[in-house]
Structure 1
Amino acid sequence: MRVGLLGAGRIGKVHAQAISSHPESALVAVSDAFEKNAQALAEGYGCQVRSSDEIIADSSIDAVLIATPTDTHSDLIEAAARSGKAVLCEKPVDLSLERAHACLANVGEKAASIMIGFNRRFDPSFGALKTAIDAGEIGKTELLSITSFDPAPPPVEYIKVSGGLFRDMMIHDFDMANFIMGQAPVSVSATGSSVVDPAIGAAGDFDTAVVTLSYADGRIAVIKNSRRAVYGYDQRVEVLGSGGLLQAQNMLENTVVKSTAEGVCSAKPTYFFLERYMPAYKAEWTAFVEAVQGKSKMPVNLYDGVAALAMAEAATRSAHSGQPVKMVDVLEESERREAV
C-alpha cells in the first residue's frame, strides 16, 4: 500500500516509522507547511516532498495519513475521500462539532471506512482489559474510572490553539470510555479549574478536570485529567463489575522493585506518550492496513470521532455552566447549526 503522509511534525514522525516498518505499506510522499520538516523526514525515509494537494490528487497513492493541525482535518478528510483514498486522520476530527458533522455528511457512505487515530484502543493492556470485559470475566460493568495525567503542561501558545483540554487531551478518554462501555453516555457533568499554571486559566482553558458520564442503563464513568504529574505519564483504567474488578496499570521505566527495612519502591511511570504508546501506534497502523485490505472493519471510524468530539463539547459546556449537559441536546443543536 502506497501511503502519503500529511504533516511531518512530532506525531507525523511517529506515524512515518509505523508506516515504513510495516511489511505491506510504503511511505512514498510527505507534505508539511514547513518544508524543512518535510525535507528532513523525506531524507530519513527515502520518499518525496510534495504538497498535500499533490499527494491527494496522485492516483498512484492508495492512502493518506493526516497529521496536520486540527483545523485542517475536515477539509483534508473530505478531499482524500473524494479522491478515493483510504484515510487515517489524527484526532480530533475538528475543533468545531458543527464542522465535524458537516464532514460526516459530506463523505457520506465513506465515513465508515475512514479511521480516526484514537491509538489508545490499540494499547495491549487496554485491549486485554476490553477483551476480558467482553468475555464476561467480571460480569456486568458498573463503574469505569479513567486516569490520564500528563507529566507537564504544554506551552500556553499551544493551549490557545488546542481547542481546550476536553477537545485536545480528554478526547482520548472519551473515546476510551465509549470503547470500554460499548455505547455513548446520555449526560456529561464536568468540573474544571486551573491550578497548575495560572496562564492556562488566563487563556480561557483548564489544566485540571473531572468528568462524570452517566449511561442510560445506570452505569457511571469517571474521567480525571491533569496537565501535570511530576512523577511521569499516569495512564490507568479500572472497571468494577458485578463479578469483580479489572485494572490496567501504568507502564514503568523498568520492573525492578527494591524492598528494604525503610520500605518498598519501584520505578516511575514512563515519561510521556511516545514512550508509553509507541506499540499502540504500530498496532493502530496494522489495524488500518488490515481494514483497507478488507480483512476487518475499520476499528475506529468517523462516527466514533464525531461521538468523542460531541462529548468534549458537552464537557466544555458543563464545566463553564456548572450544570450537567444532555448529549441529545448537544447533538441536536449541532445538527441544526450544520443544516443552516
Structure 2
Amino acid sequence: MLNVALLGAGRIGQVHAQSMTAGGHCTVVAVADVNAEAAQALAARIGAEARSVEAIIADPAIDAVLIATSTDTHSDLITRATAAGKAVLCEKPVDLSLDRALATLAAAEATGRPVMIGFNRRFDPNFAALKAAFDAGEIGDGELLSITSFDPAPPPVDYVKVSGGLFRDMMIHDFDMACWIFGGAPARVTAHGSSLVDPAIGDAGDVDTAAVTMVWEDGRIAVIKNSRRAGYGYDQRLELLGSQGLLSAANVLENTVQKITTAGAVSAKPLHFFLERYMRAYEIEWAAFLKGVTEGTAMPVTLREGVAALACAEAATRSLAQGTTVAITPDMLG
C-alpha cells in the first residue's frame, strides 16, 4: 500500500483529503500547510501527522504527494517532489507563469517520476461518458464544441487579485476539456472579456464574463463561455457537434422531479457549487492516480497536458489585452 502525503490543508486540500482516505488503497501519513493549525486539525481528523513540507519531501517512506497549496508554489513543489523520487498529483494550474511551467516540465520529465495534474472534470462520469462515445465514433468527426461554465457567484476580490485571472483560474478547466476532447492544443485563440458582475473585479485588472474561441489546424472550433455569476446555480454543460450527430452533457440537478401542468414544465435547479457537482469526480481522479502509480501506467492527465491548458490561458490573456487572435506556437507547449 502506498504511503502518501497532502500538501495544503485549505478548502481544496480538505476536499482531496476526503477522497484520499475514502478508498482504503493508500495510507495518508502526513499533512503540511503554511497554517500550522490548519495542518494539525486536518491531520488529526484523518489520522495523519502534521509535518513540514521539507520533512515530507525528505522522507523516503512517502511514495507520493498531492499538492493542493497556492498556485504560486506548484512549480517549486512539483520539481522538489519529483527530484526526491515521489509521484505527484498537483492541483491545477501548473503555475501562473507559462515560462515557469515549462521549466518545471523539463525538470520533472528528467526525473522520470509520474506527475498528474488535477483537472478533475475529466473524471466526471457524464463528461467521461461523452468523451467515450465520441472516441467510439458515435457522432463521426468532431466539428464544433461548446463549453458552458458559470459559477453561482464571484469569489472575493482579494482572491481575484492573486488568482492569475479568470483564464488561468477558472477557464483553465475548460481549456483542458477542449484539448482533451479534441486530442491536443488548438492552433489559435481569440478572447473577449468584460467586467459585468462586479466593478471591483475590473478594478483588480480581471474580467468576470468571457468568451473564447479556439480553432484547430484542421478547422475544428471550440467555444468556451464563462461567467462568475449564475444566480440559479452551478451551470456546467457541454455540447459536441459531429459529422454524424450530436453529443451533449447537461447540468446535474438538485433532484430529478419535474412538474408538468397546463402552465408549463418546471424542474429543479443545477447543483449549487463545485463541491456538490464534482465530489465524485475527485474520488475517481484520486483512484486513477493511484492506479497509474501502482501499475506503472501513463497518467490520465499529464504534466505536459497541464502546460498545454496553461498555454491556452496565456494565449487568451494576450488576446484580450491586444485585441487580436494569438497563435499557440510549439515553444508554448514544451
The alignment's TM-score, normalised by the length of structure 1, stands at 0.96
State the AA in 2 paired with 1:127: A
State the AA in 2 paired with 1:274: L
Counterpart in the other structure of 1:127: 128
The Cα offsets for residues 305-326 of structure 1, whole Å up to 9 and x where unpaired, read as: 1100010000001011111000
Q: Report whether the alignment pairs 1:318 with 2:319.
A: yes
Counterpart in the other structure of 2:164: 163
Superposed counterparts of 1:285-304, under 5 Å: 285-294=286-295, 296-304=297-305
Counterpart in the other structure of 2:37: 36
Asked whether the 8 Å contact 2:210–2:225 carries over to 1, the reply is: yes
Shift of 1:237: 0.4
Asked whether the 8 Å contact 1:151–1:231 carries over to 2, the reply is: yes
Asked whether the 8 Å contact 1:191–1:319 carries over to 2, the reply is: yes
In the alignment, the residues of structure 1 paired with residue 212 and residue 127 of structure 2 have an alpha-carbon distance, to the nearest angstrom, of: 20
Superposed counterparts of 1:113-262, under 5 Å: 113-262=114-263
Counterpart in the other structure of 2:267: 266
Between the aligned residues of both structures, percent identity stands at: 65
Shift of 1:68: 0.3
- Gaps spanning 5+ residues in structure 2: where? none
Asked whether the 8 Å contact 2:87–2:113 carries over to 1, the reply is: no
State the AA in 1 paired with 2:238: V
Counterpart in the other structure of 1:338: none
Asked whether the 8 Å contact 2:143–2:220 carries over to 1, the reply is: yes
SS of 2:295 mapped into structure 1: coil
Shift of 1:106: 1.5
In the alignment, the residues of structure 2 paired with residue 78 and residue 3 of structure 1 have an alpha-carbon distance, to the nearest angstrom, of: 17
SS of 1:274 mapped into structure 2: helix
State the AA in 2 paired with 1:2: N
In the alignment, the residues of structure 2 paired with residue 314 and residue 138 of structure 1 have an alpha-carbon distance, to the nearest angstrom, of: 30
The Cα offsets for residues 27-78 of structure 1, whole Å up to 9 and x where unpaired, read as: 1100111111111111111110000110111111110000000000000001
- Gaps spanning 5+ residues in structure 1: where? 336-340
Counterpart in the other structure of 1:23: 24
The verdict on how the C-alpha distance between 1:97 and 1:111 changes in structure 2, with shifts beyond 3 A counting, is farther
SS of 2:69 mapped into structure 1: coil
Shift of 1:86: 0.6
Shift of 1:262: 1.4
The verdict on how the C-alpha distance between 1:184 and 1:81 changes in structure 2, with shifts beyond 3 A counting, is same
The Cα offsets for residues 97-124 of structure 1, whole Å up to 9 and x where unpaired, read as: 0000111112234467200000000000
The alignment's TM-score, normalised by the length of structure 2, stands at 0.98
SS of 1:180 mapped into structure 2: helix
Runs of 4+ in 1 over 6 A off after TM superposition: none
In the alignment, the residues of structure 1 paired with residue 331 and residue 84 of structure 2 have an alpha-carbon distance, to the nearest angstrom, of: 30
Q: Report whether the alignment pairs 1:332 with 2:327.
A: no
In the alignment, the residues of structure 2 paired with residue 333 and residue 225 of structure 1 have an alpha-carbon distance, to the nearest angstrom, of: 24
The Cα offsets for residues 278-335 of structure 1, whole Å up to 9 and x where unpaired, read as: 000000000000000126310111101110001000000101111100001xx53797
Shift of 1:26: 1.4
Asked whether the 8 Å contact 2:191–2:210 carries over to 1, the reply is: yes
In the alignment, the residues of structure 2 paired with residue 230 and residue 9 of structure 1 have an alpha-carbon distance, to the nearest angstrom, of: 25
State the AA in 2 paired with 1:332: D
Asked whether the 8 Å contact 1:112–1:301 carries over to 2, the reply is: no
Counterpart in the other structure of 1:92: 93
The verdict on how the C-alpha distance between 1:284 and 1:156 changes in structure 2, with shifts beyond 3 A counting, is same
What is the RMSD computed on CA atoms of the aligned residues? Answer: 1.2
State the AA in 1 paired with 2:331: E
In the alignment, the residues of structure 1 paired with residue 23 and residue 293 of structure 2 have an alpha-carbon distance, to the nearest angstrom, of: 14
State the AA in 1 paired with 2:127: F
In the alignment, the residues of structure 2 paired with residue 177 and residue 287 of structure 1 have an alpha-carbon distance, to the nearest angstrom, of: 20
In the alignment, the residues of structure 2 paired with residue 59 and residue 166 of structure 1 have an alpha-carbon distance, to the nearest angstrom, of: 37
In the alignment, the residues of structure 2 paired with residue 287 and residue 271 of structure 1 have an alpha-carbon distance, to the nearest angstrom, of: 26
In the alignment, the residues of structure 1 paired with residue 280 and residue 127 of structure 2 have an alpha-carbon distance, to the nearest angstrom, of: 12
SS of 2:147 mapped into structure 1: strand
For this pair of structures, how many residues does the alignment match? 333
SS of 2:286 mapped into structure 1: helix
